[in-house]
Structure 1
Amino acid sequence: MSADPRRRIPRTDDLLALEEVQASPLADAAVRAAIDEAQSAARRLEIAPEEVAPRVIAAVSSARPSSLTPVLNATGVIVHTNIGRAPLSPAATQALVDAAGYADVEMDLDSGQRSPHRGLGAKKALLAACPGAEDALVVNNGAAALLLATTALAEGGEVVISRGELIEIGAGFRLPELIESARVDLHEIGATNRTHPADYERALARPNAKAVLKVHPSNFRVEGFTASVSTEQLRPLADETGAALIVDLGSGLLHHDPVLPDEPDIAAEIAAGADVVIASGDKLLGGPQAGILLGRAETIRKLKKHPLARAVRVDKLRLAALEATLTSADVPVREYLHADPDELKARATALASAVGGEVVAHDGRVGGGGAPGFELPGWAVRLPSTLARPLRTGTPSVLGRVHDGACLIDLRCVPPAEDATLIAAVRRAQEP
């Protein structure tokens, strides 16, 4: 009988002693995991024992600090949740690097004492961008912002909300369930398609009503026989009972944008009388994931003082990136939103000339719960659907839109500087 080949599998100590392994920047646990994976493959007879060392060397030599894979977004969806929503601007990226080490996030360098003004730079940038607000607070995401606002302003009481605004967003996340996880009760009013001022008036007359919550419907629209109540109409109703008026916009549009004529914006909601407006930082604002709360000084003061504010506190990296996003003129989300259709067509034509395919009209989308159903005119290159997977799994990874039996490559969210890289990626995917 021949000897079992598994007896020739290299010992762990011998693999750890390899020059390439010794030079690897990976932590010891990561190196040992790579060794264990290669040895296990040999024990299962999937590879020969002589292939173990080369596999380990390849693993530790090609490993990146993070398992996340950069993606070229060729879907035409600007705020694509599955690939990280808003891409950061060069300024925000540099701000992350600058804040990665020690930084004066809670220190006054002049006095050498601890500063009570954590995130002051981001707060000033928010108030400069939205001067109608008296104060601002940043927490770790939009859901946290909503939870903090409803808890701090209506704890132990009722939050009044229209049934047409009891929304569910991606991955089965439902706002009512989030709110009810705090010590508040939801009081639903109206119907799915129609809610009137009298519905709010009756609900606010209840002895335990403490807040009104108005929610942007996010990823859907209700059309036809509909009625809703604006923030401006709700303000006097809230004033009569002393209830707080909370508006959750989600999408993060600071000011009205003619490109999105029906999308509500933070500045308008504050002007209409909201006590606090909630938005996400990584949607139309174009920054990092963050929950932004803007509004009246007394309301924001209550939020800051609530114990939950500490639990949802945002970190220094996102504070730095948010400030840089607000003060930078070069924000990718804004550029993609206002992309010139003629320029998109010219780039698509150049791509088709280089790799084949047909240039077709293709409407982009905001995505991420912003401007639901609103179309952004543009163009794409129609390629065989069989290219979708090799493009996704190639280097770089290219995510196109698979639709109607084809793989559509939309250049709206691909920086022009990456066009040559994209062409090369498509050509590699076309290779037999």
Structure 2
Amino acid sequence: MSRVASLGGGTTDATRHVINATSVLVHPSLGRAVLSGSARRAVEAAFGCIDLEYDLNTGQRGRRGRETVAALLAAVPTAAAAYVVNSNPAALALAATVLAPGRELVISRRELYEIRDGFRLPELLTSTGARLCPVGTADGAVLDDYRQAVWSGTGCVLTLVPARDASDGVCGRPDVTALAGLNVPVIADISSGLLRPEPALPGEPDAETALRQGATLVTASGDKLLGGPQTGLLIGDRAVIEQVRRHPLARAMQADKLALAALCATIVDGGTPTLAAVRTVHTDLRARGEWLVGALRAGGVTADLVESHVTVLGDASSRLRSYAVAIDQRLAGRLRRGGPAVVGDLRGGRLLLNLRPVPADRDTDLAVAVLAAASRTQSAKTIREKSPWLGDA
């Protein structure tokens, strides 16, 4: 029997479906963004032969990913050109390779960080042939620090445009407009992956704003707040994008047909599970939480509804109000090993299942998973059959 799961469900030894009920909306360890229905349909359509690099009108070779690029340009009108690669680090590496080979790349010391699992940004940047020129201190840099560092040997300035930190306000640094006034190319790497401003997240950076402020290039992830597959976006100056596209490394970093199809559908459709979670009204979360608590208590599980917060991308990103269902922390292991697996947060001796990251249509699945974890004898199927209230979600 095949060990490959279908798109519609099932598990394999390699991957398992997980309900993200943690306090991080776009969780890097859980696959980041949940693809929309239109993106999943686009992936299914791209399983076979498609016009990936073929012009059906002329019968000649076509430009790879042209529909996806067209969708990006329509979504970010300020951009003159765009290119898609397989990840945001790849986009950043290509940008530095083109703009600062053998030259200095000016960056704030505060931004030379290690992400996770030993991945360090300085090592990525120096691997491109650029010479790093750190400015400022560990607390940040001011415009004068950048101004004094820029000279004829400067290839570009890189700024990691931050999200607004709920506790610190905006991190001390010059904005893109000020850096663009230094008359050297500016790469703005945005953490969110948003293409346009999002009213529900006024502190999150976006590509359109960064380009309007004078960035030469914006690099971004397609699998964060944009809500698409893992991809890296380069958006901005036409001449620089063309250099990127023609660089030999671009071939090694190109996005595959499934990612291009899913990204295009994500951009064109606009509605994603990620943005739906961001825009969910707080009172709706409370109503869902009250139903879940009632359902769990009816099944004999002690549960309480508590107010909580989720961060969008991580510790330094925007925080959103949420509600969480608090249950016995001893259920955490069983929930992780269940089907579907459920991952929450251990806090204060309890397991908190945050509701904002959970799609509303998965509330019943979440309730069944908790009841199955609490029962050592009943399966999820049995619980569904014996629980008439599950149809009231």
TM-score w.r.t. the length of structure 2 is: 0.88
Q: Which moved more, 1:79-88 or 1:158-167?
A: 158-167
| 1:91-106 superposed matches below 5 A | 91-106=38-53
Counterpart secondary structure, 1:82 = helix
Q: 1:26 Cα shift?
A: 5.6
Distance 1:322 1:95 in 2: 9
Structure 1 runs, 4 residues or longer, greater than 6 Å off:
218-222
Q: CA RMSD in A?
A: 2.2
Does the CA-based 8 Å contact 1:193-1:222 persist in structure 2? no
Distance 2:171 2:287 in 1: 41
| 1:355-370 superposed matches below 5 A | 355-356=296-297, 357-367=303-313
Q: 1:152 Cα shift?
A: 0.9
> Which among 78, 82, 94 is matched to residue 25 of structure 2?
78
| 1:87-236 superposed matches below 5 A | 87-115=34-62, 117-205=63-151, 207-217=152-162, 223=168, 227-236=172-181
Does the CA-based 8 Å contact 2:104-2:155 persist in structure 1? yes
Structure 1 unaligned runs (5+)? 1-23, 28-61
Matching of residue 264 in structure 1 with residue 217 in structure 2:
no
Answer with 1 or 2: which has the greater Rg.
Answer: 1
Distance 2:254 2:98 in 1: 15
Partner amino acid, structure 1, of 2:19: L
Counterpart secondary structure, 1:283 = coil
Distance 1:359 1:397 in 2: 21
After superposition, give the CA deviation of every residue in 1:181-213 in whole Å (9 maximum; x if it has no partner). Answer: 1211100111222422222222112x4211111
Counterpart secondary structure, 2:235 = strand
Partner amino acid, structure 2, of 1:143: P
Name the CA shift for 1:64/1:258 in 2 (closer, same or farther; >3 Å): closer
Counterpart secondary structure, 1:367 = coil
Partner amino acid, structure 1, of 2:262: A
After superposition, give the CA deviation of every residue in 1:316-340 in whole Å (9 maximum; x if it has no partner). Answer: 1100000000011430000001111
Name the CA shift for 1:214/1:63 in 2 (closer, same or farther; >3 Å): closer
**Structure-2 residue corresponding to 1:385:** 329
Name the CA shift for 1:247/1:329 in 2 (closer, same or farther; >3 Å): closer
Does the CA-based 8 Å contact 1:85-1:282 persist in structure 2? yes
Does the CA-based 8 Å contact 1:215-1:248 persist in structure 2? yes
Matching of residue 426 in structure 1 with residue 373 in structure 2:
no
Counterpart secondary structure, 1:199 = helix
Partner amino acid, structure 2, of 1:196: V
Distance 1:368 1:99 in 2: 32
**Structure-2 residue corresponding to 1:406:** 350
Does the CA-based 8 Å contact 1:280-1:292 persist in structure 2? yes
Distance 2:14 2:92 in 1: 31
**Structure-2 residue corresponding to 1:282:** 223
> Which among 371, 396, 405 is matched to residue 340 of structure 2?
396
Partner amino acid, structure 2, of 1:111: T
**Structure-1 residue corresponding to 2:234:** 293
Does the CA-based 8 Å contact 2:228-2:262 persist in structure 1? yes
Distance 1:375 1:320 in 2: 31
**Structure-2 residue corresponding to 1:8:** none
Larger relative helix fraction: 1
Does the CA-based 8 Å contact 1:153-1:302 persist in structure 2? no
Name the CA shift for 1:105/1:132 in 2 (closer, same or farther; >3 Å): same
Q: 1:398 Cα shift?
A: 1.2
Q: 1:229 Cα shift?
A: 1.3
Matching of residue 351 in structure 1 with residue 292 in structure 2:
yes
Partner amino acid, structure 2, of 1:121: E
Identity fraction in percent: 41
> Which among 263, 267, 270 is matched to residue 322 of structure 1?
263
Distance 1:196 1:72 in 2: 42
Distance 1:294 1:301 in 2: 11
Partner amino acid, structure 1, of 2:187: I
Does the CA-based 8 Å contact 2:101-2:129 persist in structure 1? yes
Name the CA shift for 1:354/1:400 in 2 (closer, same or farther; >3 Å): same
Partner amino acid, structure 1, of 2:157: V
Counterpart secondary structure, 1:318 = helix
Distance 2:18 2:206 in 1: 29
Does the CA-based 8 Å contact 1:252-1:280 persist in structure 2? yes
TM-score w.r.t. the length of structure 1 is: 0.81
Distance 2:350 2:167 in 1: 31
Distance 2:158 2:358 in 1: 37
Q: Which moved more, 1:165-174 or 1:304-313?
A: 165-174
Does the CA-based 8 Å contact 1:251-1:368 persist in structure 2? no
Distance 2:202 2:164 in 1: 16
Name the CA shift for 1:344/1:228 in 2 (closer, same or farther; >3 Å): same
How many residue pairs get matched?
Answer: 367
Distance 1:219 1:181 in 2: 30
> Which among 328, 333, 336 is matched to residue 277 of structure 2?
336
Structure 2 unaligned runs (5+)? 298-302, 377-393
Name the CA shift for 1:368/1:112 in 2 (closer, same or farther; >3 Å): farther
Does the CA-based 8 Å contact 2:164-2:318 persist in structure 1? no
Name the CA shift for 1:64/1:420 in 2 (closer, same or farther; >3 Å): closer
Does the CA-based 8 Å contact 2:204-2:318 persist in structure 1? no
Distance 2:356 2:249 in 1: 40
Distance 1:389 1:342 in 2: 30
